[in-house]
Structure 1
Amino acid sequence: MEEKELIKSCIEGNKQSFEKLINAIQPLIFNLSLRFLWNRMDAEDATQEILIKVITNLSKFNGQSKFNTYVYRVATNYLINLKQTNLEKTLTSFEVFADDLKAIKEPTSYDLADKNLLEKEMKTGCTMAMLQCLDRDLRIAFILGSIFKIKSNVASNITNTTPENFRKRLELSRKRIGEFLNSNCGVYNPYNNCRCNKRVNSAISCGRIVKNKLNFADKIESYNEEMEELNSLSGIYQNHGTFKNDIDFMKQLNEIIETKSIINDNRITKKSGT
């Protein structure tokens, strides 16, 4: 079924089309939300809210862009306007993050059986946290342009700006992330002392890594070790892969629709008697 036909079928109330649409777009929304927010629970909550916004406003999609572009636009607008997160309140600048990295004077290696998994958790969590040091406009530009590789003419449509302005934001975000990595990260620049494995113990002790409840490393759907060189800016972020989630968003949305509302003329309206 083509995109326009699928959307039309959803608006008409076809449940199978509705499920097909949700299953197609929720990974896009979740991966954007997780990279933007860092915290998995926050990303799952945001994904559900964004999905509801998308499905209750399908009639506003005019077909002038690809539907995925429209979905990213809805998601980006939602994320940009969220209240400040706890991590954003903590990582207020790259200088603050650098001081945190230098706080451990004598880091020790982690050598238990799960060391590779936890080292990957450390690396992914750390490089994702760096994005929180960017303001939200620069952060979304970096995610769309450097990680998702969306071209500036499409990304500018998503972020409601001009292609030229988006490219400026992307260039500045890359510059700031690159400078920080070059000055602090041992993966990016081998001359730096910071090593992911030597930070695992401290991350466990302060609760940043919870061994039976990882945020990233054990929830990667697709991963390519050879995707790009790890000492390249985009390579570090491309090697994160695609994150999966443990939430059945389709089940949650069905419960919302069945218990509180129905799709009627593409609007959420309460059932009579509720």
Structure 2
Amino acid sequence: MSEEELINKSLNGDRKSLEQLINSVRDSIFNIALRFLYSREDAEDATQEILIKIVTNLSKFKAESKFKTWTYRIATNYLTNLKKTKFEQKNISFDFYANDLKTFSAPKDYNLPDKDLLEKEMKTSCTLAMLQCLNREHRIAFILGSILKIKSNISAEITNTSPSNFRKRVEKSRKLLGNFMNNNCGVYNPKNPCRCNTRVNTGIKCGRIKKGNLQFSNDLKTYNEEMEELHSLSGIYQNHGSFESKSSFNTQLNQLIASKKIMK
């Protein structure tokens, strides 16, 4: 069934078509939200709210762009206008984070059977936390342009700016992250002493790694070892793979259909 058919049937109350339509974008939106917000709980909540906005505004979709582009615009607008998250309220900066990375408050060696899994958790957590040092404008630009590799003309449409302005935002975000990682990250620059496997004990001690409740590694749909490129920002972030949402949208979807909030 084509996208146009799915949309038309959804607007006429076809629950299965609406589920299929929403499922086609749900994971993509969750991945943007998680990278933007860092907190899985916040990302789950934001994804639900964004999906509700998509469903209740579906009749406004005029097919002037691709459906996914339209949903990304809704997601981006929602995320950039959220009130400050708990993580953002800490006013994390690159300078603060650099000092934190140079502080080892626990033994460097970790040799239990879950070593590889926790190292992945540490690496993913660390690199996503770095994104929080960017302001929201530059953060969303880096996510769209450098991680998701969406073309600047499409990203400009998503973020309601011009292609040249969007490219400037991506360039600035890459410069800020690149400078930080070049001076601190051992994955990006092997000359740096910091390594993910030497931070596992510290992560556990300070609560960033919760062994019984991993935030990132347990629910990776893919984890692409071969995609990691040293000295490449895009390679390091694409190495995360794809995150999977734990929550279900079916209950809210059925309620929206019952209330006829998506009807033409």
Would you say 1:189 and 2:174 are equivalent positions? no
Aligned to 1:247: 247
Q: Quote how far apart the aligned CAs of 1:123 are.
A: 0.3
8 A contact 1:109–1:197 mirrored in 2: yes
Provide structure 2 residue ranges, at least 5 long, that are not aligned to the other structure: none
Q: Quote how far apart the aligned CAs of 1:91 are.
A: 4.4
Residues 175 and 47 of structure 1: CA distance in aligned 2, closer, same or farther (over 3 Å): same
Distance 1:264 1:4 in 2: 15
1:157-172 to structure 2, matched below 5 A, reads: 157-172=157-172
Distance 2:105 2:115 in 1: 21
Aligned to 1:150: 150
Residues 86 and 216 of structure 1: CA distance in aligned 2, closer, same or farther (over 3 Å): same
Aligned to 2:263: 265
Q: Quote how far apart the aligned CAs of 1:251 are.
A: 3.3
Distance 1:193 1:255 in 2: 53
Distance 1:37 1:47 in 2: 11
Distance 2:17 2:105 in 1: 56
Distance 2:257 2:100 in 1: 45
Paired positions, count = 264
8 A contact 2:106–2:201 mirrored in 1: no
Moved over 4 A (4+): 255-258
Aligned to 1:85: 85
Distance 1:21 1:132 in 2: 31
* Letter paired with 2:234: S
- Could you say what secondary structure the match of 2:261 adopts? strand
Aligned to 1:55: 55
Would you say 1:210 and 2:207 are equivalent positions? no
Aligned to 1:198: 198
* Letter paired with 2:260: I
Would you say 1:42 and 2:42 are equivalent positions? yes
Per the normalisation by structure 2, the TM-score is 0.96
Distance 1:105 1:10 in 2: 54
Distance 1:105 1:128 in 2: 21
Distance 2:211 2:45 in 1: 23
Q: Quote how far apart the aligned CAs of 1:230 are.
A: 3.6
8 A contact 1:23–1:250 mirrored in 2: no
Distance 1:105 1:29 in 2: 36
Residues 263 and 255 of structure 1: CA distance in aligned 2, closer, same or farther (over 3 Å): closer
Aligned to 1:16: 16
Distance 1:191 1:231 in 2: 11
Residues 253 and 230 of structure 1: CA distance in aligned 2, closer, same or farther (over 3 Å): farther
- Could you say what secondary structure the match of 2:218 adopts? coil
Stretch of structure 1 that moved more, 52-61 or 84-93: 84-93
1:46-87 Cα distance to aligned partner (Å, 9 max, x none):
000000000000111111100000000000000000011111
Residues 221 and 118 of structure 1: CA distance in aligned 2, closer, same or farther (over 3 Å): same
Distance 2:262 2:201 in 1: 53
